[in-house]
Amino acid sequence: MKALIKLHLKENIGGKSFILFGILGGLVTLLLLTGGEVTMANNPTEEIISKFGTQWKFLSIIAGFASVTISMGTIERHRKEKRTELLALHGLSIDKQLFAISIGNALVSMILSTILALVLILIILFGKAPTNLIGFITAFITYLISTGMIALIVSVLNMFLPSIVVAILGVFIVIIGSFHQIIQGMLLNNNQFISYIIAKVMNILPPLDVFNRLTRSLFFLEFNCSYDLIVFLIFIWMTLTTVYLTSKGVGRYEKI
Amino acid sequence: MKRFKGILWMAIGVILIGIFYIDQAPIVDAHTIDLIDKAHKINFDKYWSGFNINIYPVEIYKKNILKKDSTVRYYNDKFYEIKDKKPIYALSMDIDESGQAILLVTSARDFRSLSDVGNFNSSSADIYYQALIAHEAFHCFQADQGFYDVFSKEITIYEKSNVLTTVRKLDENSKYQKLWMDEMEKLIDYAKEDNIQNYHAYLNSYQNRLDFLYNNFKEEDVIEYLKYSNLYEKAEGSAKYIENITLSMLSGKDLEFDIISYGKGTSKYYDSGFLKTYILNKKDDLDWKTDFFKTDKTFEDYLLINYQ
């Protein structure tokens, strides 16, 4: 299984999309750090907090889209290839292959997210940022895992659905997830029964904005985010369990 | 070994969900209560004597996991869940069946979720939460003065009138936008420095806007539009003033008077009303607040009288 993950990484790291996303991430970082913060009169937030906070928010959204782009067709492609059968003949069952590709997708997305955040990392290392090493590392880990989670969800979808549909659903998940709490709030505020039900159903979608808030809290050394951390851990657990069970299910179906 | 791994993995999930469930506050989380209590202690005597946040009951929207969401009333340090009332997910105010003005809030965490697009950290979100509590409590104060009834009645009339069409036309008119922004700039100068030159500059700018309105619209439409904008400025501008004062007090920053762009709809009246409240409040000899919400007086009734 490890060999397949390594192979998947080798095949997917590099190429035009990586360079493109690297440039895009750099541009967004520079643009936001040179005056792109969300402003309002009498804002109680310090300017530097606002700038880095907005930065993390935008980067996580772009990383989410990048993750969808990277992962959307991989499972479908793999199942069409001859090596799937070959690997199965050599003892790597289909469910393990699917699980390995999904994990591989998550790892590729994490590497891509690192490239996206490269300019930000340089600015943090050489400039003034309201954090320290522990704050930055923990924030960065949560940022990477969030993107990895999107890749896993997209991989699960791709086990059932064609790439194009997965791409649309993936983009939908990133947009809804990035503004999950705001949209849920609007629905609850709507005061209609159907809106209330949709708001409650939304709880099963990954709240990427809560994960991003956790990232920012850790980055700004505010370690009072136990609720966000628990939600984050629960979603990691749920996503990995879903990937494992779905791979098993699809693998068994393919055998038949 | 494989089975053991599976059981361990399931156990991790059960523990995480268990922690999440136990972590839910039985009534309202302590942080929200702490912030409401802090907001209750803010003293506004210097800015608007008679206004007191802590006299208004607070109703908190409580999200529940295994049952329907509910309302928790917090009043005189006591809590009780209101089971037969539909909760409202907003920071707002309302009048209950007994005629009491009440403050409606979400929890502090939900508030941050609703307004945070990367521009907050937890301390600034807490400050903003308290400032909005002050804003909404000021609407309760306005209601106590009888202004709520006037506002509700007038708005119902405006919904059926021509004024919303006038507002839409003006919002789309670039010349009117420029005139409005010019007036705001003059108001900002006047707010920053209270002198006769800035007073006259504001008067001229206001007159230019009035001339444009009367030259381009029917007289009855202009009168209706001015009444409409005065009503919103009075309600929201004065509450915005309280909100901004709270932000300044809690953050330790000076008040800012920036207006970045023309706000469509009613949003612009928050800023214009704030500036007018600030200017009038600086005039120590002027008694304007005593009956402001009890009568149909507008900011202009005080601003346009001879400079003092």
Q: Tell which residue, A50, A227, A188, has the closest CA to residue B128.
A: A50
Residue with tokens 């499972």: A75
Q: Name the band, by pLDDT with cuts 50, 70 and 90, for residue B113.
A: confident
Q: What is the pLDDT of residue A256?
A: 46
How much is the ipTM here? 0.84
CB count in 10 Å sphere of residue A222: 14
Parse chain B into domains and list their residue ranges: 24-141, 147-303
**Set of chain A residues whose Cβ sits within 8 Å of the Cβ of B258:** 41
Helix axes A208-219, A163-178, angle to 10 degrees: 50
Residue ranges in chain A whose pLDDT is less than 70 = 1, 9, 14-15, 32-39, 255-256
Residue of chain A whose Cα is closest to the Cα of B62: A188
Q: Read off the pLDDT of each residue in B225-249 and give the average, rounded to a whole number.
A: 95
What is the band of B233 on the pLDDT scale with cuts at 50, 70, 90? very high
pLDDT at B159: 85
Using a CB-CB cut-off of 8 Å, the residues of chain B touching A202 are none
Inter-chain residue contact B122 with A210, CB threshold 8 Å = no
Q: pLDDT (tens digit, 9 = 90+) per residue, B14-65?
A: 999 999 988 887 888 999 999 999 999 999 999 998 999 999 999 999 988 7
Confidence band for B286, pLDDT divided at 50, 70 and 90: confident
Query: Cβ B118–A189 below 8 Å, yes or no?
Result: no
Q: Where are the beta strands (DSSP E) in B18-84?
A: 58-62, 70-75, 78-82
> Which residues of chain B lie closer than 8 angstroms to A212, CB-CB?
118
For the entire predicted model, the pTM comes to 0.88
Distance CA B236, CA B290 (A): 18
Half-sphere exposure of B226 (CA within 13 A, CB side): 21
Decide if pLDDT at B117 tops 90.
Answer: no
Question: How many residues in total does chain B contain?
Answer: 308
Task: Please report, for residues B120, B126, B150, B186, B248, the alpha-carbon distance to residue B257 in angstroms, rounded to integers and kept in the order given.
Answer: 20, 22, 29, 11, 12
Q: DSSP readout, B139-156?
A: HHHHHHTTHHHHHHHHHH
Q: Which residues of B touch A (CB under 8 A)?
A: 9, 12-13, 16-17, 19-20, 23, 61, 69, 86, 88-90, 106, 109-110, 112-114, 116-124, 127-128, 131, 244, 247-248, 250-251, 253, 255-260, 271
User: In the prediction, which pLDDT does A36 show?
Assistant: 54
Q: How far apart are CA A155 and CA A8, in angstroms?
A: 13
pLDDT value at residue B272: 94
Q: Check residue A27 and give its pLDDT.
A: 79
Distance CA(A51)–CA(A29), nearest Å, equals 10
Which residues lie across from B93 on neighbouring strands? Answer: B103
The pLDDT score that the predictor gives to residue A199 is: 92
From the list B20, B118, B256, the residue facing A57 with the nearest CB is B118
Interface of A with B in 43-62 (CB under 8 A): 43-46, 49-50, 53-58
The answer to whether B106 contacts A185, with C-beta atoms less than 8 Å apart, is: yes
For residues B138-155, give the mean pLDDT: 93
